[in-house]
């Protein structure tokens, strides 16, 4: 066996090992990673939906509080404006 044959054998062995590795990675992706990502995506969607609902509830509650106590709402807004102005001046 000469050097060329040895190099070709090493190249063939390397290609075979790479093909096996690629098959293992594809199997791992299809059996473990893809289902896990699908599950996480579903959970993230549920959390986003719940957060959106909570935000709408809080906005409705705040709007109702402003309608029920408009003077208090104006006072809170004025106080917030003064605080922000004081912080900006620094």
Could you read off the pLDDT of 31-75 as tens digits, one per residue?
888 889 999 999 999 999 999 999 999 999 999 999 999 999 999
Q: How far is CA 70 from CA 6, 11, 59, 76, in A?
A: 88, 80, 15, 10
| 2: three-class secondary structure by DSSP | coil
For residue 85, the model assigns a pLDDT of 95
Alpha carbon distance, N-terminus to C-terminus of the chain:
83
For residue 1, the model assigns a pLDDT of 65
For residue 5, the model assigns a pLDDT of 82
Give the residue-averaged pLDDT of 13-36.
90
């Amino acid at each position: 066996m000469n050097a060329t044959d040895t190099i070709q054998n090493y190249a063939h062995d390397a290609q075979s090992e790479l093909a096996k590795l690629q098959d293992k990675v594809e199997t791992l992706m299809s059996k473990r990673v893809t289902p896990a990502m699908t599950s996480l995506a579903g959970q993230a969607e549920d959390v986003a939906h719940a957060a959106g609902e909570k935000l709408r509830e809080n906005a409705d509650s705040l709007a109702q509080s402003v309608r029920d106590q408009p003077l208090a709402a104006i006072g809170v807004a004025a106080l917030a404006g003064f605080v922000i102005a004081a912080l900006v001046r620094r």
